Amino acid sequence: MDSNTRNQVLSAVRSQLPATQIDYPEIPDFPKKITALLPAFEERIIDAGGSIYKPGSLKSAQFLLNQQFPEAKVICSASSDIQGNRDIHSVINPHELADVDVGVIRARFGVAENGMVWLTQEDLVVNALGFLSQHLVILLTPTELVADMYDAYLKVSLEDTAYGCFMMGPSATADIGAVLVHGAQGARSLSVYLV
Amino acid sequence: MKIGLFIPCYIDGFFPEAGIATLELLEHFGIEVGYPLTQTCCGHPMANEGDQLHSAAENFKSFEYIIGPAGSCVKYIKMLLDAIPQTNEVAQVQPRTNELIEFLHDILKVESFPWKNIGTDPNNYDPHYLNEAMRENARKKFLSADAGMTGVNFALAETGTFVVCPNEGNAGIGASVPPLHIVSMGIEKLIPEVTDLSIFISLLSRSALGTLATRYTSHFTGPRPGSEMHIIITDNGRSRRLRLNDFWHSLKGIRCGACMNTYPVYRRSGGLAYGATNSGPIGVIPDPTFDESKYSELPYHSTCGSCTDVCPVKIDISDQILKWRKVMAEKKYLPISRRLAFGTIGKVFEHPGLFRSAETATGSALRFTPHFLLYNRALNPGGRHRELPSFAKQTFRERYLQYKAKDHGQ
């Protein structure tokens, strides 16, 4: 027997394939139900326990951030659009982000049907920013929206990034008494700034 | 307060850890614990032989309380220690005997176990409050971990990506904070192309929680800079199942849990009722492929068809379960033959001498003898499904003596 376990698994699968061959299924062209992307996206963000803000400019976004989190001691921004007080580019070890109160990340695009935003390793700079921050502020250009997951997966290019995440609202659990609680292990809140 | 520790035969032989834990717990509360070495058991298995005088009364007459970590054995003494002459000593044993938890709660009036809890108020059941305590407690562990482990929901052949879909964010922290990420996936998680994901991500959480998606849908196509990633891909019988014309469809499962949520038994009693890792209606299909004999009962569980109706990947679960029934029936794993055999197993338990002598002869004999007697297929097909756990390497009695020698230098 081949001592390479990889080959063992592969040959076991090859020799035991089902007798009936099935054609590779084609994904049907599902009718698009959402026509106005932005209102749908905003609604889904709120459903997911997130919140939506529409600052008119980056300057007002910065003002809004300080107003929304007056108690925040550590604000770490992975986007040059917003100023924080912790430089993410000088972070060597992800543990250095354990005390971040607010993390700011610019998303590539949003998905109208479910309120997801797409973040890659390049947007996060340090992936842990998306998970260790107590609160997240996601910057999103309001025109950068797709209707659904079919369009969303046409837009991502997984080969080009080691890590990419569709994030939908703050972290959540219903493990205790089947009651929905936000802020399980990840972010306690997620605000989308449309700017 | 001096209490007598009552460790029933079953715990002595099969679950000595439960006995040691009971002893440690009681000593934690500053109680002087005595363990009469000549005790045997509550007398229940040997009721017909009438050894209750020694097993309970003689050994425990001098204690203020008699505490045991086994509800049924304690109840037997409290309610049924009446087959022997009711001397003063015997009469005192009954009311003084208490089950461990009953004793801690009703008599010792223990309010909390401060060395074991994470600092929560035991009377506060608010999920938000408890979640916060869990979050604080878990975060320290995440931050001090040297490695994070995740499973896989889907893996893509096209790009070499694997996808993890959690809600809590624990997988995100586990993958993004420690320097090492270990990933474990079964071979059936593999799907061909990125566009296929759009279907599966749309199906997964809708069929699981009824939400549009999980909070996080993380795509890993390599380790993050400065970290290591190792992926373990397991077959574990899946390729074998692929060959089974009737049952390979179960490999299409995406582990959403829709069939479990719709199945009343699972909803009421959870997955443990299945006695196997894969639970719920979908679990009934793969489980017998691991051990046809051990799980031959499972296909008799579910037939209403609701599981097939709700399955998002169109697995004909209830039809496959029916097919397993046919297999089991042809191989004569029928429930009726088990019922007929119960008379035989009773005979063995009626002879305490076998149990006691085997046990005191260092226990090794029991590892072989009763198994042959109990699980002889001709005598008792029922044993196949109700096999006792394996006999512990050391009995509680043996471990108790070591514990005392170590702690008190005796």
Question: How do residues B296-341 score in pLDDT, each as one tens digit?
Answer: 878 877 678 899 999 999 999 988 888 888 888 887 665 544 434 4
- Tell me what pLDDT residue B13 has: 86
Domain CATH for A83: 3.40.50.10420
| ipTM summary value | 0.97
- Is residue B120 included in any domain, yes or no? no
Inter-CA distances, A194 with A58, A112, A155, Å? 10, 13, 20
List, in sequence order, every residue forming a beta bridge with B230; answer none if it has no partner.
Answer: B182
Q: What is the pTM of this model?
A: 0.77
Q: Is A125 on the interface with B (CB under 8 A)?
A: no
> Can you give the residue range of the structural domain that contains A117?
33-194
Contact B240 A16 (CB under 8 A): yes
- Parts of chain B with a pLDDT under 70: 45-56, 302, 332-389, 407-410
Domain CATH for B258: 1.10.1060.10
- Tell me what pLDDT residue A143 has: 97
> Can you give the residue range of the structural domain that contains B10?
2-107
- Is residue A168 included in any domain, yes or no? yes
Q: At what angle do helices B364-375 and B342-349 cross, to 10 degrees?
A: 150
Q: Which tokens go with A181?
A: 């609680």
Last residue of a domain, one of B57, B73, B107: B107
Which chain A residue has the Cα nearest residue B221?
A: A162
Contact A165 B172 (CB under 8 A): yes
For residue A179, how far is the Cα from the chain centroid?
Answer: 23
Last residue of a domain, one of B292, B310, B333: B333
Rounded to a whole number, what is the distance in Å from the CA of A55 to chain B's nearest CA? 25
C-alpha dihedral (B237, B238, B240, B246), degrees to nearest 10: 130
Domain count for chain B: 4
Q: What does the alpha-carbon distance between residue B46 and residue B42 come to, in Å, rounded to a whole number? A: 9
Q: What does the alpha-carbon distance between residue A108 and residue A119 come to, in Å, rounded to a whole number? A: 6
Q: What does the alpha-carbon distance between residue B223 and residue B176 come to, in Å, rounded to a whole number? A: 9
Q: Is B195 on the interface with A (CB under 8 A)?
A: yes
Confirm if B47 and B354 have CB atoms less than 8 A apart.
Answer: no
Which of B96, B6, B2, B3 is CA-nearest to residue B397?
A: B6
- Is residue A98 included in any domain, yes or no? yes
Contact B233 A150 (CB under 8 A): no
- Is residue B121 included in any domain, yes or no? no
Contact A162 B169 (CB under 8 A): no
- Tell me what pLDDT residue B376 has: 44
